[in-house]
Structure 1
């Protein structure tokens, strides 16, 4: 029996994202400094951030698995209270194996969202493989589902809405988020910016 993307989504317990090209548009801006070092700048979608808050409120564990090492990603992960942050991952299945052990889940219970060929080893193995609208053809060709929006422009939120819709809990999760009495929702995605 062939499973639909929705069937696969109903089994997911852990949602993992690549960062560059998925949670950002893929641009890497480096501002040079006098000492020869640089300050890296990335832009993240606020829609994705709120979506991650919804995913966590719905009981999903969320993580970032990326090849680059970036202080910007560490700050965003902290602000969103990300459960798993793996940077410097040239071979991302190593991180996936560790997350599986930490969360006591199987590959079928993992959703991974990627955009480029470095993500293929993970996308080929997880229960739900999602490609972004701007993903390379190789990723789109093997993804179970492709987001309508590009990375950095709401693709992460698309993936989360898809997962919660497949479970039939998107509307109730939104209402839980909007409930002023819900302490978990009120503490979600409190970024510090330059404060």
Structure 2
């Protein structure tokens, strides 16, 4: 199926898609292509449109979907490549009630951001996670209401490090929130 990337999407999805790769793609809209925009009359008449909520997961047909590889917070290097992605799981300590509006640089588009603070058994320093734009929507956060009061365990997939104001993590185009994480690291936090 044909897919088209525009503007900032080209760089944002550069590492997520590789030629001849197989992927599980969610939250990508399928749209009809008007005949005047088709490259050939025999072309399939639909295209996939990626947005800020689109999640792309590589799939190995023999191994199945790629599961999160949760890292201990203390194991994530503080001097990191900003293009690295990390999966973390932790106990929710704080969830910002409402998203904040952040003005775009040089008159660019405004963004919404919402903070979550988590911790795990590996360190005394909690980790601040900034979720941007579509991940600030109520449909994600309605499930998180009062989670900080009950110390729920939650996972995050594909967070990027952010070092401009201490050490924190930011969401990326591939970030997923995992409400009921599985695996040994999650089990230790749930029973501890």
Normalising to structure 2: TM-score of the pair? 0.23
Larger radius of gyration: 2
Greater relative contact order (Cα < 8 A, sep 6+): 1
Which structure shows the bigger proportion of residues in strand conformation? Answer: 2
Normalised by the size of structure 1, how large is the TM-score?
Answer: 0.22
Greater fraction of residues in helix = 1
